[in-house]
């Protein structure tokens, strides 16, 4: 779905809708007639069923919610965004305050406000959920049974109020399906003025999927899903497999993850992979599905590899922390271009490349979850083991048992920014470091590293050192820039770790040593 370009301030959930007063009364000439029920064709007129239809006051949005479950169909319906402001300062608040029953259709309430300190003509016909009231179904499937927002007699902007009837169990409106006469194209508003919005939300199908209220440059989605079976269907190739918890970064406890292969029909939020086995090179495609009734936040993803019962975080620099809400019924997709060797990286918010990945079990974990820290899915990658190779800018010289590696960063850096590290093998493991971060896998007190981690861009110095650390090499000196700060933890000048069954120590030394 297209990103919502207009959302300069986005908030979701009932809390954003409570306590808002809406000014104004019903428009003149709009009344709700109630024709008699026709039992022959199961047609009945929608009625509010509310004892008090006060148009103003805090009660207007007090019970608003971003999602509802229909009592007339086994469907849940959720708004992807319930609060936003347009580029010209028109603020919109929306929320369901009633579900569909045998007595009436689902109802959406809200308001449009001129948030400017000057009088403004709001282009209502371009705003989703205000003048844009037709939501076709997106993606695959039939697009010709959309969702309609049908204005009621309490909608301050409505120019026409269609009659709502129930036929064959569905609430719908009578007359032609052209929505143009319903809402105005523009509306002149005083500074701070609010106009009430109220709609019946109807469809003649309610097919699960994403429906889109598409404005001039923006879109607000409506998600529909099976309320009785919100979770994934089908089997997983990892069914019955137990995996260790994923460690948090910089914290002592582990993260709780809702795994796709452990999900069932009742699971309301999950990461679903397009495939659970992929031959390298290829495209890893995942989507997070929110079938809960509340928005979920902070969903940046991370890539891990499972080796000897421990998780290694492979892509920390690609973990884009994104704390914008993911609304009820909304989905978020990722595509990771996965390579066994090196490749030219791509850049941008929607572009992710992971190179130097060897065969094995991986996990993509996203920070979304209604009752967990996140959700994740396993995938088996098929490919050769990763070889440690130097960076393209590294040049090596050997003098006896010492190899000296000089990088372009060293040659081009100001002398004050140059640095060196010395990499050696350690045979005596009794000398152990105790300052290893909890988030790093360990062997005893030694940090463990794997090739997929070493080959990441943030480990250039270690990569260039280990690439030349052969059996006949006593030590490797790496000369690089930025004082070689990527070789050790912040504030440390030494680091000890194990790699492929051997223990190594790396020391940062000044360029004059």
The structure's pTM equals: 0.81
The structural domains of the chain, ordered by start, are 14-226 (no CATH), 246-382 (2.60.40.1930), 395-509 (no CATH)
**DSSP character at residue 129:** T
Q: What is the pLDDT of residue 105?
A: 97
Q: What is the pLDDT of residue 55?
A: 45
How confident is the prediction for the chain on average, in pLDDT?
83
Q: What is the pLDDT of residue 174?
A: 86
- Work out the average pLDDT over 314-325: 65
Higher per-residue confidence, 384 vs 315:
384
Higher per-residue confidence, 425 vs 430:
425
- Work out the average pLDDT over 237-262: 88
- Work out the average pLDDT over 184-195: 95
Peptide bond into 448 cis (omega under 30): no
Query: DSSP per residue over 404-459, as a string?
Result: EEE-HHHHHS-GGG-EEEEEEEE--TTS------TTS-EETTEEE--HHHHTSGGG
Q: What is the pLDDT of residue 16?
A: 31
Q: What is the pLDDT of residue 444?
A: 55
Q: Band the pLDDT of 42: cuts 50, 70, 90.
A: very low
Q: Band the pLDDT of 17: cuts 50, 70, 90.
A: very low
State pLDDT tens for residues 88-146: 999 999 999 999 999 999 999 999 999 999 999 999 999 999 999 999 998 765 556 89
Q: What is the pLDDT of residue 125?
A: 95
H or E element: which one contains 378? strand 374-382
**DSSP character at residue 324:** S
Supply 341's token pair: 């060797």
State yes or no: pLDDT of 443 exceeds 60.
no
Asked whether 55 and 196 are in contact (CB, 8 A), the reply is yes
Q: What percent of the chain has pLDDT over 90?
A: 60
Q: What is the pLDDT of residue 442?
A: 63
Q: Which residues, at least 6 apart from 398, have a Cβ–Cβ distance to it below 8 Å?
A: 404
Q: Band the pLDDT of 20: cuts 50, 70, 90.
A: very low
Q: Band the pLDDT of 254: cuts 50, 70, 90.
A: confident
- Work out the average pLDDT over 295-309: 89
Q: What is the pLDDT of residue 21?
A: 26
Higher per-residue confidence, 60 vs 269:
269
State yes or no: pLDDT of 327 exceeds 70.
yes
Higher per-residue confidence, 315 vs 116:
116
Higher per-residue confidence, 155 vs 416:
155
State yes or no: pLDDT of 165 exceeds 80.
yes
State yes or no: pLDDT of 438 exceeds 90.
no
Which pairing describes strands 475-480 and 419-426: parallel, antiparallel, or unpaired?
A: antiparallel
Based on the number of CB atoms within 10 Å of its own CB, is 240 exposed (0-12), middle (13-18) or buried (19 or more)? exposed
Query: DSSP per residue over 153-214, as a string?
Result: TT-TT-S--PPEEEETTEEEE-S-S--TTTS-S-EEE-TT-EEEEEEEEEES---SEEEEEE
**Residue 484: which of 391, 420, 415 has the closest Cα?**
420
Q: What is the pLDDT of residue 28?
A: 34
DSSP bridge partners of 380 = 277, 361
Q: What is the pLDDT of residue 1?
A: 34
State pLDDT tens for residues 454-490: 999 889 999 999 999 999 999 999 998 876 778 887 7
CA distance readout (Å), 235 to 238, 263, 265, 286: 9, 10, 11, 16
- Work out the average pLDDT over 181-196: 95
- Work out the average pLDDT over 492-508: 92
State yes or no: pLDDT of 436 exceeds 50.
no
Q: What is the pLDDT of residue 280?
A: 96
Higher per-residue confidence, 483 vs 366:
366
DSSP bridge partners of 45 = 165
Q: How far apart, in whole angstroms, are the C-alpha atoms of residue 207 and residue 74?
A: 11
State yes or no: pLDDT of 400 exceeds 60.
yes
H or E element: which one contains 462? helix 460-466
Higher per-residue confidence, 298 vs 31:
298
Q: What is the pLDDT of residue 440?
A: 62
């Amino acid at each position: 779905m297209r990103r919502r370009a207009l959302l300069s301030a986005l908030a979701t959930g009932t809390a954003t809708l409570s306590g808002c007063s809406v000014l104004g009364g019903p428009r003149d000439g709009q009344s709700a007639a109630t024709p008699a029920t026709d039992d022959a064709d199961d047609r009945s007129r929608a009625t509010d069923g509310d004892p008090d239809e006060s148009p103003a006051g805090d009660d207007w949005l007090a019970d608003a919610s971003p999602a509802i479950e229909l009592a007339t169909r086994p469907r849940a319906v959720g708004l992807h965004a319930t609060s936003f402001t347009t580029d010209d300062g028109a603020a919109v608040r929306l929320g369901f305050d009633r579900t569909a029953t045998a007595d009436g259709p689902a109802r959406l309430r809200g308001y449009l406000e001129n948030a400017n300190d000057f009088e403004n003509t709001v282009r209502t016909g371009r705003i989703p959920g205000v003048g844009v009231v037709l939501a076709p179904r997106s993606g695959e499937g039939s697009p010709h049974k959309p969702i309609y927002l049908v204005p009621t007699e309490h909608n301050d902007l409505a120019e026409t109020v269609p009659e709502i009837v129930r036929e064959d169990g569905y609430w719908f409106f009578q007359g032609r399906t052209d929505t143009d006469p319903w809402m105005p194209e523009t509306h002149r508003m005083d500074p701070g003025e609010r106009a009430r919005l109220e709609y019946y939300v109807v469809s003649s199908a309610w097919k699960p999927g994403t429906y889109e209220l598409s404005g001039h440059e923006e879109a607000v989605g409506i998600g529909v899903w099976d309320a009785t079976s919100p979770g994934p269907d089908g089997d997983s190739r990892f069914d019955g497999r137990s995996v260790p918890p994923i460690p948090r970064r910089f914290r002592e406890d582990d993260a709780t993850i809702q795994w796709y292969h452990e999900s069932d029909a009742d699971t309301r939020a999950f990461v679903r992979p397009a495939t659970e086995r992929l031959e390298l090179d290829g495209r890893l495609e995942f989507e997070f599905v929110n079938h809960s009734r509340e928005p979920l936040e902070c969903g940046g993803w991370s890539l891990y590899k499972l080796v000897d019962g421990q998780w290694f975080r492979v892509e920390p620099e690609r973990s884009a922390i994104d704390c914008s809400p993911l609304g009820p019924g909304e989905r978020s997709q990722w595509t990771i271009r996965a390579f066994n060797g090196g490749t030219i990286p791509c850049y941008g918010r929607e572009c992710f490349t992971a190179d130097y990945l060897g065969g094995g079990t991986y996990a993509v974990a996203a920070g979304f979850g209604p009752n967990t820290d996140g959700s994740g899915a396993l995938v088996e990658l098929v490919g050769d083991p990763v070889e440690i190779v130097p960076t393209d800018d590294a040049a090596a010289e050997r003098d006896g048992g010492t190899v000296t590696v000089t990088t372009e960063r060293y040659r081009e850096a100001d002398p004050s920014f140059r640095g060196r590290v010395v990499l050696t093998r350690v045979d005596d493991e009794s000398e152990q470091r105790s300052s290893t971060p909890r988030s790093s896998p360990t062997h005893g007190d030694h940090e463990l590293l794997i090739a997929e981690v070493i080959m990441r861009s943030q480990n250039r110095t270690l990569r260039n050192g280990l690439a030349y650390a052969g059996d006949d090499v006593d030590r490797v000196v790496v000369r690089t820039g930025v004082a070689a700060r990527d070789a050790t933890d912040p504030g440390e000048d030494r680091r000890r770790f194990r790699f492929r069954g051997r223990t190594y120590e790396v020391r940062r030394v000044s360029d004059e040593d």
